[in-house]
Amino acid sequence: EAFNANVAAASNLNAFIVATPEQALAAADKVDADRAAGKALGKMAGVPIGMKDLFATNGVQTTAASHILEGFKPVYESTVSQKLWDAGAGMLGKLNLDQFAMGSSNETSYFGNVISPWRRNDGGNAALAPGGSSGGSSAAVAARLCPAATGTDTGGSIRQPAAFTGISGIKPTYGRCSRWGVVAFASSLDQAGPMARDVRDCAIMLEAMAGFDPKDSTSLDLPVPAWESGLSPDLKGKKVGIPREYRMDGMDDDVAKSWDDGIAWLKDAGAEIVDISLPHTKYALPTYYIIAPAEASSNLARYDGVRYGLRDLPEGAGLQDMYAATRADGFGPEVKRRILIGTYVLSAGFYDAYYTQAQKVRALISHDFQKAFTQCDVILAPTAPTAAFALGEKSGDPLEMYLNDVFSVPASLAGLPAMSVPAGLNREGLPLGLQIIGNAFDEQGVLNAGLAIE
Ligand code: GLN
């Protein structure tokens, strides 16, 4: 009943695309049965979680919030979701997102935008964006519809929605969580991770999600550390780097203040604060918006009306017409924009000027971080340049929307673990997030600094 009530309450937020309370209930029942039988319980035993609708779930519609996949029911389970079920979790439903995870506000979903449960303290009732692309996940956890949800992060889609809704979320090192069965956006960047109320819950859930998978050629063949038992908010002997290039002109006052608060909290926890430089930061956004669309245009070529979901077959149409009609009808405007940009930067005449160049700059951005991590253990920065904006405020201007990702894409391009934790409210009463970026494989360092902040 509680599950049904939660799902019903969720309809105001439009967080769920499909509800599966029976699956959450089955997981809860299994806990009772296992306990009665004296069996050991998994890390996530009985926990009802939301699943971003980018993870293939066996027999349950998987859409990536796109019309082109509407009605698609996979006959297989993604590795990450399977690991969560193996750890005892149960699925409450499939959560809304930006279409193919392209967006920062959840407004590109075919199934309508998600509404953040937060409101400004100005007495008005303006509906705010829950962030994106994991906006269904952030809204559902923030509204306490479920204690945790999966997210995916290509350029910030776990961290920015977590920041907008006052929850925690971590994108682990690229390769920690298998991409097998996760609808691909930009394969060299895509990474799954947990979104939950606090750092400890993120650590527990990440342990369940991570691990080597021979079905993903970029999966890390490393044991999963015991992140939860390794949690410690004591940062004595640790150095925290403050990247000077992130202090951009015109930075929102409240964001700058929360960054200063974070610095003070980490000092209190025993850390030494050091000034660092990430000189190629200003190239991260243009680099990301070349590489991500390039990979997307290639990944999305598979949606042709033959293999999945939607097929538009006009009277007397041939195969080419069917492809064209299906894709014209099935993809939303932002997805089409990315496919066009991606196809352009990969085209014979422009490949070297854009794609190859972007790959070179990506290497420089990585080197910046490598150098920084000889001077510090983790890096502290804001997650996003502002708190949540109103629905509709930025959706008319793609460039303005892309600017939201300015602090989150560098860690993505470098494949580094990065987390957003809640760091208080701004003057409008809206949550702000602080981001901790760690060296490759150092999720523990990231989680521990997060614990010291929360
Ligand atoms: N907002 C970024 C984009 O639109 C990141 C999305 C993501 O991380 N999936 O590409």
> Which amino acid appears at position 303 of this protein?
Y
Phi, psi of 9 (to 5 degrees): -60, -30
Which atom of ligand 1 sits closest to the CA of residue 185? Answer: 9
Pocket test for ligand 1, best of 154, 182, 300 (most atoms within 8 A of CB): 154
- Asked if residue 137 is part of any domain, the answer here is yes
Provide the ipTM: 0.98
Q: How far, in Å, CA of 157 to CA of 355, rounded? A: 23
pTM of structure: 0.97
- Structure confidence at residue 307 as a pLDDT band (50, 70, 90): confident
- Mean pLDDT computed over 351-359: 96
> Which amino acid appears at position 296 of this protein?
A
Instruction: Output the CA 405–ligand 1 centroid distance in Å.
Output: 7
- Asked if residue 409 is part of any domain, the answer here is no
407-441 pLDDT, tens digit each: 999 999 999 999 999 999 999 999 999 999 999 99
157 lines ligand 1 (CB under 6 A): yes
CATH number at residue 157: 3.90.1300.10
Pocket test for ligand 1, best of 66, 104, 412 (most atoms within 8 A of CB): 104
Q: How many residues can be counted in the chain? A: 454
- Asked if residue 294 is part of any domain, the answer here is no
- Structure confidence at residue 7 as a pLDDT band (50, 70, 90): low
**Using CA of residue 301, residue 102, residue 147, residue 437, what is the dihedral sign?**
positive
Integer CA distances (angstroms), 215 to 38, 78, 84, 221, 421, in order: 33, 10, 17, 12, 32
Q: 10 Å Cβ neighbour count for 30?
A: 18
- Asked if residue 333 is part of any domain, the answer here is no
Task: Kindly give the interhelix angle for 199-209 and 443-453, rounded to the nearest 10 degrees.
Answer: 160
- Asked if residue 35 is part of any domain, the answer here is yes
47-94 pLDDT, tens digit each: 999 999 999 999 999 999 999 999 999 999 999 999 999 999 999 999
155 lines ligand 1 (CB under 6 A): yes
Q: How far, in Å, CA of 40 to CA of 227, rounded? A: 20
- Asked if residue 451 is part of any domain, the answer here is no
- Structure confidence at residue 366 as a pLDDT band (50, 70, 90): very high
Q: Could you list the residue range(s) of the whole structural domain that residue 26 is in?
A: 2-209
Instruction: Output the CA 161–ligand 1 centroid distance in Å.
Output: 11
- Mean pLDDT computed over 386-392: 97
Residue nearest to atom 4 of ligand 1 (CA): 103
101 lines ligand 1 (CB under 6 A): yes
CA-CA-CA-CA torsion for 154, 158, 161, 162, nearest 10 degrees? -160
pLDDT, residue 309, reads 87
pLDDT, residue 251, reads 86
Which atom of ligand 1 sits closest to the CA of residue 134? Answer: 9
Instruction: Output the CA 103–ligand 1 centroid distance in Å.
Output: 5
Residue nearest to atom 10 of ligand 1 (CA): 102
- Asked if residue 300 is part of any domain, the answer here is no
216-272 pLDDT, tens digit each: 999 999 999 999 999 999 999 999 999 999 998 778 999 999 999 999 999 999 999
Q: What is the count of structural domains for the chain?
A: 1
Query: How close are the terminal C-alpha atoms of the chain, in Å?
Result: 32
Pocket test for ligand 1, best of 53, 55, 95, 98 (most atoms within 8 A of CB): 98
Positions marked active-site: 52, 133, 157
Q: How far, in Å, CA of 304 to CA of 111, rounded? A: 21
Could you tell me the two tokens for 65? 């919030």
102 lines ligand 1 (CB under 6 A): yes
pLDDT, residue 270, reads 98
